[in-house]
Chains A and B, each alone.
Chain A
Amino acid sequence: MLKSLQRYLLGTLRVSISGSGCERFLNLAHSEKFKIYDICRDDDGCVSFGIYRKNFRHLRPLVRKSHVRIHITKRLGLPQRTRNYRRRYGLMLGIIIIAASLYVSSLFVWNVRVSGCESISEQEVLTVLSENGFTVGGLKRKFNIREIENNFLKHNDKISWISINIKGTTAFVEVREKSEKPELIDASEPCSIYAARDGVIASVSDYMGYSLVKPGDTVTAGDLIVSGDYTDKYGTQYKLHSYAKVMAYTTHTKTVTVPLKASEHVRTGNVKNKYSLKFIRFSVPLYFSEKILYNNYDVTKSEKFLKLTDSFVLPISLCKTTYTEVENYEYTKSKETALYDAYEQLRDFEYNLVGIRVLGREYEEQVNEDSVTVKVMLNCYEDIGISRKID
């Protein structure tokens, strides 16, 4: 493979020799260290072989010594191919222009790929990047990546880490989002524990502080449960950083109403595509009429860049806009289906209660003429204590 490529690039000749001294010629060529290959005896008695173009003129003395006649039967390789086009200046100019434009386009960033987004959108990241000077179409060497990364982190509270790597003409932006931290009170600051919601106290494990309730007591949201500010029998006032686990029996209620009349968009199957060619920011439409034949439709847009490799993207792209006709389909649900949907929503609500143990459920159904209402009351067991600073 490599040898074939080398032969193609350097150019080879297929040479034929005839006469009585063919063997001598081959021996002399070998002793002079000329690389000859594919030696074969033709039907007409001639010996033909392949040789590099550059070595052919050095064969002249060997031909004289071995008394053979030599002639070229075929010219192969890239030099021979380019020789045929040597007078076609327009083609040469075109190749030079393409090579130059490829080189120039490789100096810019034409595509930005964002990864690692979970709660924030990629568009949001791109907007913040462009605010910091990192835009598509910018010159690569003018970007101070470290500075852009630092500025990005300064101006965006949701991102904890960002990395920008430019490969070819594509910028790979990797982000890590900040996880929401609970508001923590400094351990040296005095605080008390309050009830987060209504309930009946099951147990209070006060590791630090003075408990004001006992199991069986009823509390409402905002009641003081464990105080960090108390005075002992000798009159000494203490201000502590309270820490306690307050387990209580609570109730969570949720009401879901599902209307019986519903509507949804149904695709009719009629689709119209419109293409446009985009060069940097200039778009050339490849269609004549702007008119859209449908009254109700969904629009989806996709952009396909012309690229040499995965990371070497050129500033030319084909934009495809798809118009899909939709119809607003109105229908009436059966009561069973509506109830099923309501219970599904309630199951989702229960699934999202994190850190709460559900001990029991009480459902209450109400079927009206145009809707179905389901109310659930969950009997739960949870930690209701929240810390608040003592003023």
Chain B
Amino acid sequence: MRNKIKNKSKKQSPVGAFIKGIEVVNPAVDGCSSVELVGNKRVIIEDATGISEYEADRVRINTKVHTVVIDGTGLTLDSYSGGIIVIDGKIKGVCLE
């Protein structure tokens, strides 16, 4: 009986099992956007839906699921096209809200 309960809690959807099997995170399937941090100089956010705040020390980016807040100094938006935002500057922190 205990074994049966244990097996049930581990059960995954076939799509999830496939994604886990091929060891990639597919944002389209998972529904989440990708946030890539390159050292402390650059952040690349994919599937951004908009900019909610832009200051030299803070940028708040809306994505489908959550809001990404980047703290730093001298923050510039290097490019903003096709839902991809590239933020340059001295990055101190990235957090999700």
Contacts and interface: CB of A to CB of B under 8 A. Distances in A.
A interface, size bucket: 10 to 19
Residue of A22, A26, A41 contacting most chain B CB atoms (<10 Å)? A41
B74 to A, nearest CB: 8
A26 B76 contact: no
Q: Is the interface of B mostly helix, strand, loop or mixed?
A: strand
Closest 7 CB pairs of A and B: A39-B77, A40-B76, A41-B56, A27-B50, A23-B51, A37-B79, A23-B54
B9 interface: no
B61 to A, nearest CB: 10
Contacts of A40: 56, 76-77
A30 B54 CA distance: 15
Interface string B20-61: 000000000000000000000000000000111111100000
A26 B54 contact: yes
A70 interface: no
Contacts, number: 40
A350 B77 CA distance: 83
B53 A23 contact: yes
B50 to A, nearest CB: 4
Residue of A22, A23, A35, A49 contacting most chain B CB atoms (<10 Å)? A23
Contacts of B76: 38-41
A37 B52 CA distance: 18
B55 A41 contact: yes
A288 to B, nearest CB: 62
Interface of A: 22-23, 26-27, 30, 33, 35-41, 47, 49
B78 A47 contact: no
Nearest to B62: A27
B80 interface: yes
A49 B79 CA distance: 10
Contacts of B81: 30, 33, 35-36
A26 B78 contact: no
Contacts of B75: 41
Contacts of B51: 23, 26-27
B77 to A, nearest CB: 4
A123 to B, nearest CB: 62
Interface in B76-95: 76-81
A7 to B, nearest CB: 12
A39 B53 contact: no
A177 B81 CA distance: 65
A26 B85 CA distance: 11
Contacts of A27: 50-51
B78 A37 contact: yes
Contacts of A30: 50, 80-81
B60 to A, nearest CB: 9
A23 B49 CA distance: 12
A35 B81 CA distance: 7
Contacts of A35: 81
A40 B81 CA distance: 15
A166 B43 CA distance: 54
Nearest to A28: B50
A35 B75 CA distance: 19
A209 B53 CA distance: 110
A367 B37 CA distance: 93
B53 A36 contact: no
Nearest to B83: A30
Contacts of A41: 54-56, 75-76
Nearest to B89: A40
Given A37-B79, A38-B76, 16 more contacts: A22-B54, A23-B50, A23-B51, A26-B51, A26-B54, A26-B77, A27-B51, A30-B50, A33-B81, A35-B81, A39-B76, A39-B80, A40-B56, A40-B77, A41-B55, A49-B77
